[in-house]
Amino acid sequence: MNSPAKAKQHTSLCALPKAEVHVHLEGTFEPSILEKWAVEAGVAMPRPRERLLEFGGLADFLHFLDWACGLANTADRLSELAYAFCQRLAADGTGYADVIINPTHWSAWHGRTRAMIEALDAGFTAAEQDGLPTARLCISLLRTQTADEAAEMVDQLVEWCHPRVAALSIDGNEAAAGRTGPRFADAFRRAGAAGLRRTVHAGESSGPEGVRDAIELLGADRIDHGVRAIEDERVVALLAERGIPLGICPTSNLTLNVYPSMDAHPIERLRKAGVRVSVNTDDPSLLATNLPSEYELARSTFGWTDAIVREVARTSIDASFADADTKALLKSQLSLWPSD
Ligand code: ADE
Ligand code: ZN
């Protein structure tokens, strides 16, 4: 922040009532904590500290997540991460979040997903009791998993019916996995039938065909990224017609080489084409960003007025899996923004 005008803009965007619908718990580790845990465990850092957060694209980034999450090997560490996540929401002025967690990254918890959910739930509940914003979980499959693994995950989620869990999700690298919509269609259909919401990473490491599969084969209520839909006007039209919201993460798309610059980023073209867009962080600590900064990036690049910022924030709330009371409260607060 290098000028009073910028500082004022940041404060105003912090005060903007909003939800976050595309953020991974895996992306919220502070590098200093990772270093501390690695030293304690006698585990080597993947690269020197000053280059720890330099990623060579999505595949490299996902490998890093395996390393980082492998260090979170106690229930206390998970509860602390969940609590710290809610503190981050409060600092960003975010009233609610759907947070993605992908059990495949957390090696210490393999085969113990339920215990993992319980430990996270303890942290979120403690945060709620301390008056911090709340979050619900989107439990994620990895694109490279098998249909059987997906079926088992869905069976478990349906059996546990845990109130902290809002949705089934899928993330990971579609470029490495190929076209996998058909492989996961049955799992997503059963999850939807059992009352779970569905959110799908597509149109980041896949093109518009991945977005179409997310809609037509996986029944996505929401699409994470989805930006490469812009490469096919028929897919853009489908998103607009069906009102399927995109959880867009500008800095992530720049850092992980989806677009070379913000000028080339399609968020504004999608919005103008009638697609419901929201702004999100994806992996805030690891990408060194926060939600007000993401709004500021889009606002300053595309000259968004307050009315457009409000519309995008409203989409974030409507697109979230928060309960009706939380949504109504956030939207009534939003109608009063900006306050000066
Ligand atoms: N997991 C964490 N961040 C991700 C991203 N940007 N794409 C796919 N999977 C992810
Ligand atoms: Zn993501």
Per-residue pLDDT of the chain (340 residues; tens, 9 = 90+): 468 888 888 999 999 999 999 999 999 999 999 999 999 999 999 999 999 999 999 999 999 999 999 999 999 999 999 999 999 999 999 999 999 999 999 999 999 999 999 999 999 999 999 999 999 999 999 999 999 999 999 999 999 999 999 999 999 999 999 999 999 999 999 999 999 999 999 999 999 999 999 999 999 999 999 999 999 999 999 999 999 999 999 999 999 999 999 999 999 999 999 999 999 999 999 999 999 999 999 999 999 999 999 999 999 999 999 999 999 999 999 999 998 7
Nearest CA, atom 10, ligand 1 = 172
Per-position DSSP letters for 327-338, written without gaps between them: HHHHHHHHTT-S
DSSP 8-state code for residue 43: P
Reported CATH class of domain 3-31+98-112+135-334: alpha beta
Q: Determine whether 204 is an active site residue.
A: yes
Give yes or no for a contact between 59 and 204, defined as CB atoms under 8 angstroms apart.
Answer: no
Nearest-5° Cα angle at 180, 177 to 181: 150
Secondary structure (3-state) at 69: helix
Handedness of CA 4, 7, 9, 15 (dihedral sign): negative
Candidate list 204, 209, 294, 296, residue with the active-site label:
204
Domain boundaries, the chain: 3-31+98-112+135-334
For 135-184, the three-class secondary structure string (H helix, E strand, C coil) is: EEEEEEEECCCCHHHHHHHHHHHHHHCCCCEEEEEEECCHHHHCCCHHHH
Nearest to 19 by CA among 222, 273, 196, 200: 222
CA of 254 to the centre of ligand 2 (A): 13
